[in-house]
Amino acid sequence: MVFDGIILGLIVGMIRGGLKQGLHAFGQLKLKGGWIFPVLLLIQLVIFAVQDQSSFVASISNYMFMGIYIVGMIFLWLNRDQHGFGLILTGVFLNFLVMAVNGGRMPVSLQAASVLDPYYVDMLSQGTVITKHYLLDESTRLPFLGDIIPLSPPYPRSQAISIGDIVMNVGIFVYIVQLMSGDKKKAEKNKPLETGSSA
Amino acid sequence: MSFLKRERTLKISASQWYFIIISLFGIIVFGFVNKAEFLNYTLQEWTWLYALTGATLILDHFAFQLPPKGNGQSMDSSVYLACMFIYGPAFALSVCLLTLIISSVYYKKPFWKDLANFNIYVLMISGASIVFTATGGTIGTLENEKILSYLAALTTYFFINVLVIGFFYVILMRSTLYEALKSFFKDIILVYLSTLILSLALTILISSNGVFGLTLFIALSTMLSYSFKQLFTMYNDIQEKATRDQRTGLFNHSYFESLLDEEIVKASQNDTPLSLVMIDIDDFKKYNDQFGHLKGDMLLGFLGHFLHEECEPAEVVASRFGGEEFTILMPGYDEGAASEFVNRLRKKLNDTYYEGVEIFPSGCLSFSAGIASHRVDIHDKAQLVDFADQAMYYAKKQGKNNVHIYGSSSAKEHEIDFAEDVRDIEQQLKLFLYKDVDTFKHSKRVFRYAMDMSTVLKLDSVDRRHFILGALIHDIGKLEIPWGILNKKGKLTAEEWETVKNHVVWGKRIAETNEKLKELVPFIELHHERYDGGGYPHGYSGKQIPRLCRMLTIIDSFDAMTTERPYQKTKTYEEGIAELRRCSGTQFDPELTELFIGYMEQRMLEQQQPAAGMESS
């Protein structure tokens, strides 16, 4: 789901700002603590790779994911003056919140998951495999923040997503579109007054 | 200033009261209809809540501006209505609440605005739903046979909206409800109708195709909203172009005229003060001549910007009247407050540096301003403009960089007018410089005598003005006397004498061609009449001749006697006085003659012993 906002943002950004301008904007991209993001991604990949072999890693993986979320949110907070980052932060926080109150895992509703591959639904309902998700039930807290929204055709991808995912993606979309087409507007705003100088 | 401020805060608090009442009412209705139902929603209901909230947020984002100014219109009403038709009012209110929470966090608008908006929606949705169920409508999919219930609900929704907003404008703008509704209906009815009809379309789409139907609807209405927005932007652009002056960015002359019309009507109806300020840049021509028109235009642009920056916060309207003239229309300001404002403006401009101001006589940018305030008896805008223009003229005459209130210091105004008239008449008398220098000098001397005598006679300002100007112009008819006769050294023949005598009639005719000089005709015509009736042209006697004309005859004769004339021996002042005495009662009014002699003797005494007065004091 993370990629949907990026792809959509790139398309709209390209239309509004143009390819050259957009790529130029990416070249000038400056974020505070920009190194944090790739490091977090790397850690996540390592956990995925290792958790099958190491039971220790598997047992603490939930907490590690929570930690990654917190560091990620700090990174977003540092850059909150960027367009769309407030929304991204809100989305991530909503996801974090529902996971935090449900033992570090994201609840998925059976109904929403029914749009997915039945194999995956089986996996979820048996709860055998350790993943970031688990099936939503009576005991789930804040169920309305879980993965309860089914995406199905004509949407190109079948998925169950949370409201946090949507808010986050809107934020990503806004950020990318702004990045690719925003400079032009800013330049217009700063254009000096036509009327004479009063130096 | 302070008066307006007070009024403004009063206005805001009135509208705030209104919103507080609406909000309280709305919150109660919300509690009653919604009953915090959202706490028990199923997950599927939550999904729908998200989807519909998303829809309203998107439509809110694409809201467009509608006249009256600042009135945003978004098509989110169709979502609320469809929601109400399918899921019932409680669910629609939940969507409303979630929208309120999100938009107040995201858009960081003042919270009370969002809250008021929310409560208006609550009232509209609840009202529409009550009418819907009362007329037999059922919640769920759209039923064709119950179309009347749907229409009744839509109508109710519309009317609650119009009334709530309409009353707000009544309070805010102090217009009548009818006026507010009229502009409302005229401007938004079509957009509103399409929103209402779209709500039925959305109801069908959601019931048959769920989220996909909603998505289609959002795509469609977003584009519609966007086109409406474009349309109104275009409309505003064109309107802007038609009302703005390109050079200065201020309103242009024609917009000013129509605005003035409106404000005068408003001021007359509500009996509120209204002031008009006319501003003219001092010595702008000099700047233009020195630096060229391009630079001059830039200076105009700069001034336009300056006036705009200063006037907007004060809620007064600056326009370019034409050339280097500007107007400021100040509703709510009496002339005192207006003068205070304009003087502050003037000082600020004096202190503002602009390239090239060194060439101005004052070394800084300055303007002269005239203020005219609206009175009950003014119905014609041209009159108010005239007054302001007149006042500006007085301001200029007082040495520029000045603010003058029309009619405020009438003595000063009279003085300026008087000086102007004297200058005008002198201009005409200049012809004598070539034709007959003596007459020119004589007129000037008589003018000075008249000034002194008007003090002696304690004349009021109108008489004084007439007398002095009359004295200055009395011989204007001599322009018609042939050069040869006028400058003849020897004695005149009887025929030539008749020609000379005609100058009083010719003078009268000259004066009659000019509206301003008409009052002075008696002085020109009758200054050769004698007290005993032996003068010309009419042979009037005694009281038949106006008193001041009799006075003028004395002055005129005295000056003629005591100065060199081609056909007369010059007398000294003493001889002149003796001659006056001799003719007192025959040629001259005896009483006035004594007054003049008294004055002359006093004057001669002062001239002979210039130090005497000082010693005795």
CATH code of residue B62: 1.10.1760.20
Q: What residues make up the domain containing B35?
A: 14-242
Amino acid present at B109: K
Decide if B302 and A198 are in contact by the 8 Å CB cutoff.
yes
| Confidence at residue B615, expressed as pLDDT on a 0 to 100 scale | 40
Final residue of a structural domain among B381, B407, B433: B407
| Confidence at residue B123, expressed as pLDDT on a 0 to 100 scale | 93
- Tally the domains of chain A: 1
- Tally the domains of chain B: 3
Q: CA distances (Å), B88 to each of A113, B77, B133, in order?
A: 28, 15, 10
Q: How far is A119 from chain B (nearest CA, A)?
A: 22
Question: Is the domain of B438 the same as that of B326?
Answer: no
* Residue bearing the bigger pLDDT, B316 or A62: B316
Is B8 within a domain?
Answer: no
Chain A CB within 8 Å of residue B41 CB:
yes
Instruction: Tell me the pLDDT band of A55, cut-offs 50, 70 and 90.
Output: confident
pLDDT greater than 80 at residue A139: yes
3-state secondary structure at position B452? helix
- CATH number of the domain to which B258 belongs: 3.30.70.270
- Measured between alpha carbons, how far is B432 from B426 in angstroms, rounded to an integer? 10
Question: Is the domain of B150 the same as that of B293?
Answer: no
Is B248 within a domain?
Answer: no
Instruction: Name chain A contacts of B44, Cβ cutoff 8 Å.
Output: 111, 148
Final residue of a structural domain among B407, B439, B472: B407
Is B443 within a domain?
Answer: yes
Decide if B355 and A199 are in contact by the 8 Å CB cutoff.
yes
pLDDT greater than 80 at residue A153: no
Is B36 within a domain?
Answer: yes
Question: Is the domain of B173 the same as that of B321?
Answer: no
| Confidence at residue B609, expressed as pLDDT on a 0 to 100 scale | 61
Is B5 within a domain?
Answer: no
Quickly list DSSP for A41-96.
HHHHHHHHHHTTT-HHHHHHHHHHHHHHHHHHHHHHHHTTTSTTHHHHHHHHHHHH
Mean pLDDT throughout A43-50?
80
Q: What residues make up the domain containing A152?
A: 2-19+34-181
Mean pLDDT throughout A100-129?
77
| Confidence at residue B616, expressed as pLDDT on a 0 to 100 scale | 40
Question: Is the domain of B366 the same as that of B436?
Answer: no
Is B499 within a domain?
Answer: yes
| Chain A, chain B: beta-carbon pairs less than 8 Å apart | 49
Low-confidence ranges of chain B (pLDDT < 50): 1-10, 611-617
pLDDT greater than 50 at residue A192: no
Give the H or E element holding residue B370: strand B367-373
- CATH number of the domain to which B474 belongs: 1.10.3210.10
Question: Is the domain of B43 the same as that of B131?
Answer: yes
| Confidence at residue B187, expressed as pLDDT on a 0 to 100 scale | 66
Is A193 within a domain?
Answer: no
Question: Which of B40, B43, B209, B300 is the mutation pick for testing A, counting most A CBs within 10 A?
Answer: B43
Confirm if A183 and A177 have CB atoms less than 8 A apart: no
Q: How far is A143 from chain B (nearest CA, A)?
A: 7
Q: How far is A171 from chain B (nearest CA, A)?
A: 11
Helix axis angle, B43-61 to B89-107, nearest 10°? 50
pTM over 0.95: no
| Confidence at residue B16, expressed as pLDDT on a 0 to 100 scale | 78
Q: CA distances (Å), B480 to each of A179, B502, B552, B591, in order?
A: 87, 9, 21, 34
| Confidence at residue B326, expressed as pLDDT on a 0 to 100 scale | 92
Write out pLDDT tens, residues B50-86: 999 999 998 888 887 665 555 667 788 899 999 999 9
Of A47, A36, A96, nearest to A71 (Cα)? Answer: A36
Question: Is the domain of B186 the same as that of B234?
Answer: yes
Confirm if B158 and B192 have CB atoms less than 8 A apart: yes
Residues of chain A with pLDDT > 90: what percent?
Answer: 6
Instruction: Tell me the pLDDT band of A187, cut-offs 50, 70 and 90.
Output: very low
Question: Is the domain of B579 the same as that of B521?
Answer: yes
Residues 6+ apart with CB under 8 A from B225: B59, B62, B63, B64, B74, B75
Is B145 within a domain?
Answer: yes
Question: Is the domain of B501 the same as that of B520?
Answer: yes
Question: Is the domain of B374 the same as that of B438?
Answer: no
Question: Is the domain of B347 the same as that of B229?
Answer: no
Decide if B302 and A144 are in contact by the 8 Å CB cutoff.
no
